[in-house]
Amino acid sequence: MLEDIQAAIPLGFFLSFMIGPVFFVLLETSVVKGFRAAISFDLGVVLADIIFIFLAYFSSYQLLENLSNQPGLYIFGGTLLSLYGVIVFSKKTKGELLDTNPHAPLKSNYLQLFVKGFLLNFINVGVLVFWLGIIIVVGPNLDANPSRFLLFFGTLIISYFLTDVVKILLAKRLKAYLTPLIILNIKKALGVLLLICGITLITKGFLPKDKLNPTQIIEDIR
């Protein structure tokens, strides 16, 4: 049991620093809207991860095979991610541009941010594939024991979330140094990043079937 915890903590830490759309949106939310807003967003992300983990646990290799046979899921998720990137890039929030006081609080809808975090993570089919790979790689070491599974992934998620909290606190310190123009440029860069991630997913959907082979995906993760 102790070995499972010791293995899960560093994995959760490193997963928190995986570069992707969620990573940058989380930091941007912390800088622009504050700690509570970023925590609300991150809780939505974590909920999506938990759902993916349970889907992976109960479906495992069969779900990976289904994903390889249905590349349209990549196209659908990539299209949504691309559209969101375009919206972020083109959106101009008047309050953020006109407010010259970097310490002025911004009103945040925490439920909306929670849903935003959940959907941003959930529409990314690549996240599901990643968790499937982790389950298949780590599963044998847990002896298919449900208690050890819950302990390992529970510890991993807690480690992941606590690392995110530290990232949020560090990002919030930058707020005093950001001008409205810099914030706008950050949003535009974030929009471009989301668009690139979306196009990458769409591209995967058009790859030949053998390029989406589950075994190869797992080998890449290893």
Extract the tokens encoding 55. 């889907």
> Who has greater pLDDT, 181 or 167?
167
Distance CA 149, CA 140 (A): 10
Q: Is the pLDDT of residue 214 over 60?
A: no
Residue type, 112: Q
What pLDDT is stored for residue 95 in this prediction? Answer: 43
Residues in Cβ contact with 23 at an 8 Å cutoff, skipping those fewer than 6 apart:
17
> Who has greater pLDDT, 124 or 12?
12
Asked if 33 and 108 count as a contact pair (C-beta separation under 8 A), the reply is: yes
Residues in Cβ contact with 57 at an 8 Å cutoff, skipping those fewer than 6 apart:
135, 149
Q: Which of 5-14, 68-77, 113-122, 169-178 bottoms out in mean pLDDT, i.e. has the lowest?
A: 68-77
What pLDDT is stored for residue 158 in this prediction? Answer: 94
Calculate Rg over the CA atoms of the chain.
Answer: 19
What pLDDT is stored for residue 73 in this prediction? Answer: 64
Residues in Cβ contact with 187 at an 8 Å cutoff, skipping those fewer than 6 apart:
28, 88, 89, 91
Please give the torsion angle defined by the CA atoms of residues 27, 31, 33 and 36, in that order, rounded to the nearest 10 degrees.
60
Q: How confident is the model at residue 219 (pLDDT cuts 50, 70, 90)?
A: very low
Dihedral sign, Cα of residue 51, residue 169, residue 6, residue 126: positive
For residue 44, the 8-state DSSP code is: H
What pLDDT is stored for residue 4 in this prediction? Answer: 81
Look at residues 127, 121, 129 and name the one whose alpha carbon lies nearest to residue 66: 129
What pLDDT is stored for residue 209 in this prediction? Answer: 54
Distance CA 163, CA 167 (A): 6
Q: Report the percentage of the chain scoring pLDDT > 90.
A: 18
State pTM to two decimals: 0.67
SS3 217: helix
Extract the tokens encoding 113. 């941010």
Q: How confident is the model at residue 117 (pLDDT cuts 50, 70, 90)?
A: very high
Q: What is the mean pLDDT of residues 189-214?
A: 71
